[in-house]
Structure 1
Amino acid sequence: MSLFYLLVGLLAIYPAFGAMQMPPPNPLVGNWEGQIALPNNQKLTIILHISADNTQQLVAKMDVPQQAAYGVSASRVALQGTNVEIDFDVIQAHFTGTLSSDNKQIVGHWQQSGADLPLTLNKTDKPTSITPKRPQEPKPPYPYEVHNVSIPNPNAPSVILAGTLTLPKGNGPFPAALLIAGSGPHDRDEDVFGHKIFLVLADYLTRHHIAVLRYDKRGVGQSTGNFKTATLQDFASDALAAVKFLMHQPGIDPKQVGLIGHSEGGIVAPLVASQMPNIAYVVLLAGPGIKGADLLALQEERIAQVQGVPSAEIHKMLEINRQLYQIVLEEKDPQKAQTLMQNVLHKAQPKMQQQAMDQIIASLNTPWMRSFLAYDPAKALRQVHCPVLAVGGDKDLQVPAKEDLPLIQKALRQGGNRQVTTKVFPGLNHLFQPCQTGSPLEYAEIETTFDPKVLAYISHWIQQQLGLRSSP
């Protein structure tokens, strides 16, 4: 039967069923809002927008305004009786709850990264709308040239990096900087909770007569390649290709090109500089000098302390994680490592749900995590001989400056480098924002993207190293 005749047939019989009602709307359809209570008396607002598609299949999108996260798509929405289940595979999270008899409330739990937190969602016609303020974000027109570029990596044929090159107006050639982003699938702006860190940094430097190249990491944004399978060494290969590309661009002085790496980028920058003696300078923004496994343990301890986790619980967490890290470091076969980690978690947390356990193991069993846990930054730092600036905030909980900067300085000097400057900025966190505690939970709520004092210090230091006149 053709589609035309089927439609005619349906239209013909419809009048005979004039009293027939359409199926009632699914009670989950609508806007839902609730708050997750976090340690240290902080609360995180969760907003769900649930609708039905043309096949009456439920779909959901989530907003977390305090983290500037909007439209996060659910991978599954299910209602069986009064039991509600919603999965967010992209962030490895799961919500399960019970729908009230009046269909206006869902009482349940949010599960993510091993945590199981109460979350009650209430149906609302007007969900909270919070637009974070980002006063430092520059808007066009810009007082400099902006060029979109494509950067091939000859050592990885599947990788073509998409980037932006900003050039000061006027007569070149200009000194230049390559920006290297931190861990995670960052685009060229290194967007963290709505803070476009590298856009702000690139804008400041370019206004002060330093050209800047920044790029989407492989497999992110407009760049090709596979992010999920990449290691630290792969990201170093990409940065190496990018800085060589930058040195050959019109208007760039190839003898005055340097590297600026933030967080993980502060590991990648020395790896690149150790292979290229013609790099003019390196700036490490909260760049690790601590071994990977040791840094993660220190980071976990400091964040837990600030969030008010009892010391006994912190000690237990650190011991479990130490065992998991050791397995990843010693067992090269991911399948065997998975089994060993399951045994550790079953013994330590017998009531942990399998989904939460799988999420933890999956996050530790990636090529990147394996490369990071085993990495000692000192080896590459000892081979860097150009001027180096290493800065950190004294409230940085992810790469604590007090422990980190002395190790960077020590490794550089062991290699004979005496052109080393380190500086700790008081009151600043891992993103170089003025903050209260340094907790990552504060990042999105702080309006400042990058403290102006640090921007000015970096720019002045670069100009000083290159023998340039410092611009106002």
Structure 2
Amino acid sequence: MKKTIYLLFAFCLFACTAAWGQQLQRRPFLGVQVSPVTDSLAAANRLSGTQGAFVRRVIPNSTAAALKLQVGDVIVRVNGTPINNYMDVPAMARQFRTGEFVTLDLNRKGKQTTVKGKVQPMPFETDPNAEVRYGEVPLPDNRYARSILKKLKGKGRFPTIFFVQGYGCSSLDNLPAEDPQRQLIDGLVARGYAVFRMDKPGSGDSQGSKPCTEIGYQEELEAFTAGLKLLKQDPAVDPENVFLFGHSLGGNTAPLMAAQEKVKGLMVYGITGKPWFEYLLEVYRDQRTLLGADYVQVDQDMRTVVPLLYEFMILKKTPEELAKNPAYRTALENIMDYDGQGHLYGRHYTFLQDLQDLPMSQAWRDANAYTLAIYGEADVAALDPSGAQLVVNLVNSYHPGKATFELLPRTDHGFMEVGTMQEHVKRRGSAEESTFRPRFNQKLVELVDTWMKDKIKRA
């Protein structure tokens, strides 16, 4: 039975507009957010098994919308190819070509159905109140990553925020208006900041790289650092007031970037301040008991999980090697989403192994930037405030007075108001969960704006 584990990541697919990139073309746009088919989802939707990809959202003006996909559909085949793991869908969607025909076989409320139609291109993001400028970040070996700068209309140099996304390979291009990342970006633009974002190599419009799911962490970090260097040269950006906002795993990436390319300040949300081996141990023990798992069963499971994680994260054994142990294989498949093809949690296994070796304390020291570490009160993925507080203590030990901790009440890992941690956990799996509609916490915008204004005034 698969166990739901909440790590520092999530997966999804997704005025004037100026395109100043010359190499990149608009990609085909499937336009669905998908997740694994868990045992509970299979039972609730009268499915015969857990194969396929569960449709959680259909994005307007997309191929999925044109094909009339519905939330709750399970995609079981794409162009006749079975979907064994939900991440097969974004991988296959990257091979689509705009204008060609696509066939999706679905399980819809227990019944089989097929939809067909033409692949639609990703529309450009527009905003009647802002300028949305599309560009690209040149990378070595003739590779390019899509970038987007959004700001109020008009000339001048703007204090600028580089939004650094987390673990997944989702594109940040033309996010739905209700997406909490989009609401954070738009809220900050409305307060007078320019906000920069870029897609990872191998995702979105980006070209020349292997698919994002196949690259290692260092390639991702190098791309973001190249984007930061390019951003600081933009005539619309005030180079003396560039800030990074790192969400989730992006909170680890941000100080590594800033250690190489100096910035005024770092803001991080929902992070772990510990090495990833230690963080994963806490996830598999503390998070599971927080979510209601039996303590005795967790103790028994950890007898397998601890040596498995040590051999994987520290000794750098491959999943294929580890899966030769039947107990390890069960754990890999049930709690680490192992697909039998070298992927864990939708990324190549080397990506996770890279995370263990990051020199995080050194990066925070060398960044020497004003730091705001935020923890959402109901952030199950980050577990508790200790990760953010650890970062604050670390920075202040080298640069006294430069780091601040803030607790954002009633807010989860995705910036949504969900109540206290206890209310959030209690709601999970209950009848209330299906009708509860969380909303983006606008207080995050106010918190960031107030902190940035104070730091901008300082030399």
- Structure 1 unpaired stretches of 5+: 1-34, 49-58, 79-84, 94-118, 126-138
The correspondence of residues 33-432 of structure 1 with structure 2, limited to 5 A, is 38=40, 45-46=44-45, 62-64=54-56, 73-75=75-77, 87-91=83-87, 122-123=110-111, 141-153=127-139, 156-188=140-172, 196-224=179-207, 225-226=209-210, 227-277=212-262, 279-332=263-316, 334=318, 338-339=320-321, 341-346=322-327, 359=340, 362-363=343-344, 366-375=349-358, 377-432=360-415
State the SS of the aligned residue for 1:308.
coil
CA distance in 2, matches of 1:63, 1:452: 27
- Structure 2 unpaired stretches of 5+: 1-36, 60-69, 90-106, 114-124
Q: How far apart are 1:448 and its partner, in Å?
A: 4.2
TM-score of the two chains, using structure 1 as the length reference: 0.67
CA distance in 2, matches of 1:66, 1:305: 33
State the SS of the aligned residue for 2:386.
helix
CA distance in 1, matches of 2:404, 2:312: 35
Work out whether residues 73 and 108 of structure 2, in 8 Å CA contact, stay in contact via their aligned partners in 1.
no
Which letter does structure 1 place at the counterpart of 2:446? A
2:442 equivalent in structure 1:
452
Q: How far apart are 1:146 and its partner, in Å?
A: 0.9
Which structure is higher in strand share?
1
Greater shift, 224-233 or 398-407, is seen at 224-233
190 and 392 in structure 1: CA distance in 2 versus 1, 3 angstrom threshold: farther
Q: How far apart are 1:272 and its partner, in Å?
A: 0.7
Work out whether residues 74 and 87 of structure 1, in 8 Å CA contact, stay in contact via their aligned partners in 2.
yes
Q: How far apart are 1:419 and its partner, in Å?
A: 0.9
Q: How far apart are 1:288 and its partner, in Å?
A: 2.3
Which letter does structure 2 place at the counterpart of 1:461? W
Work out whether residues 270 and 384 of structure 1, in 8 Å CA contact, stay in contact via their aligned partners in 2.
yes
Work out whether residues 150 and 196 of structure 2, in 8 Å CA contact, stay in contact via their aligned partners in 1.
yes
Work out whether residues 305 and 311 of structure 1, in 8 Å CA contact, stay in contact via their aligned partners in 2.
yes
Give CA deviations for 1:91-129 in whole Å, capped at 9, x if unaligned: 379xxxxxxxxxxxxxxxxxxxxxxxxx9964499xxxx
CA distance in 1, matches of 2:406, 2:350: 33
Which letter does structure 1 place at the counterpart of 2:320? Q
Which letter does structure 2 place at the counterpart of 1:377? M
CA distance in 2, matches of 1:410, 1:229: 35
CA distance in 2, matches of 1:356, 1:197: 26
69 and 177 in structure 1: CA distance in 2 versus 1, 3 angstrom threshold: farther
Across the aligned residues of Structure 1 and Structure 2, the Cα RMSD in angstroms comes to: 4.1
State the SS of the aligned residue for 2:440.
coil
State the SS of the aligned residue for 2:327.
helix
Work out whether residues 151 and 195 of structure 2, in 8 Å CA contact, stay in contact via their aligned partners in 1.
yes
CA distance in 2, matches of 1:397, 1:429: 7
1:437 aligns with 2:417: no
Which letter does structure 1 place at the counterpart of 2:214? T
Give CA deviations for 1:441-466 in whole Å, capped at 9, x if unaligned: 68997644531011111122112210
